[in-house]
């Protein structure tokens, strides 16, 4: 569509799709005077409207985000250095294990696994490391990937609400890779949140 209509395309009545780097500062302005509310189509993807991501009101979103901002200060991010170094060491070991073998290497999967391992260690504490699994925990990332249901959920918000009420056995029979995500959520050791 961008090749035909240009860098800014209206894809829905209230949604623009932009493919122009010079437009980034306009879209994501840091000006406190510019207020933006999230569109209903974005909010429909979430079933819980009490968390930060699916907050429509600009000022309320800002207050909720302020609670988390201390965890992302420069000082706190610098404290991540040992976690990042350990994760990079795991990544380099995996890369070295492929040395001398033929065939393609799943670099995207390795990078996703490394990213998840760092985020998990920082936000939830140490847990299962995706980088140490043979398939980099592919089922977990398959659950995160956008699929046909994601696009349906944008327009029909009752679909994700309905899905959350289904028993886990029904969901996993429809989509077996969801079991990896359910396991991640239900493992008690991963539910410890760092507040220091």
- Identify the residue with better confidence: 25 or 82: 82
Residue 187 tokens read as 């493992």
Full-model pTM = 0.64
Q: What residues contact residue 44 under an 8 Å CB cut-off, 6+ apart? A: 153, 154, 155, 156, 157, 160
CA distance 3 to 97: 42
Q: What residues contact residue 193 under an 8 Å CB cut-off, 6+ apart? A: 123, 124
| Three-state SS annotation for 51-105 | CCCCCCCHHHHHHHHHHHHHHHCHHHHHCCHHHHHHHHHHHHHHHHHCCCCCCCC
pLDDT of residue 115: 93
Per-residue model confidence as pLDDT tens digits over 45-88? 666 666 777 787 888 888 888 888 888 888 888 888 999 999 99
pLDDT band at 118 (very low <50, low <70, confident <90, very high): very high
pLDDT at residue 146 is higher than 80? no
pLDDT of residue 189: 45
């Amino acid at each position: 569509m961008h090749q035909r209509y240009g860098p800014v395309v209206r894809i829905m009545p209230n949604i623009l799709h932009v493919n122009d780097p010079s437009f980034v500062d306009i879209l994501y302005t840091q000006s406190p005077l510019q207020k933006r509310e999230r569109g209903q189509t974005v909010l429909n993807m979430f079933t819980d409207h009490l968390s930060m991501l699916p907050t429509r009101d600009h000022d309320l979103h800002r207050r909720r985000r302020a609670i988390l901002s201390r965890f992302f200060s420069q000082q706190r991010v610098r404290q991540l250095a040992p976690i990042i170094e350990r994760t990079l060491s795991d990544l380099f070991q995996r890369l070295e294990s492929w040395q001398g073998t033929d065939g393609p290497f799943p670099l995207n999967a390795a990078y996703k696994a490394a990213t998840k391992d760092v985020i998990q260690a920082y936000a939830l504490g140490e847990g299962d490391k995706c980088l140490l699994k043979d398939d980099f925990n592919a089922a977990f990332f398959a659950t995160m990937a956008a699929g046909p249901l994601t696009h349906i959920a944008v327009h029909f918000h009752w679909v994700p609400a309905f899905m959350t009420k289904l028993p886990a056995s029904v969901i996993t029979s429809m989509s077996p890779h969801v079991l990896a995500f359910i396991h991640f959520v239900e493992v008690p050791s991963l539910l410890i949140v760092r507040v220091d």
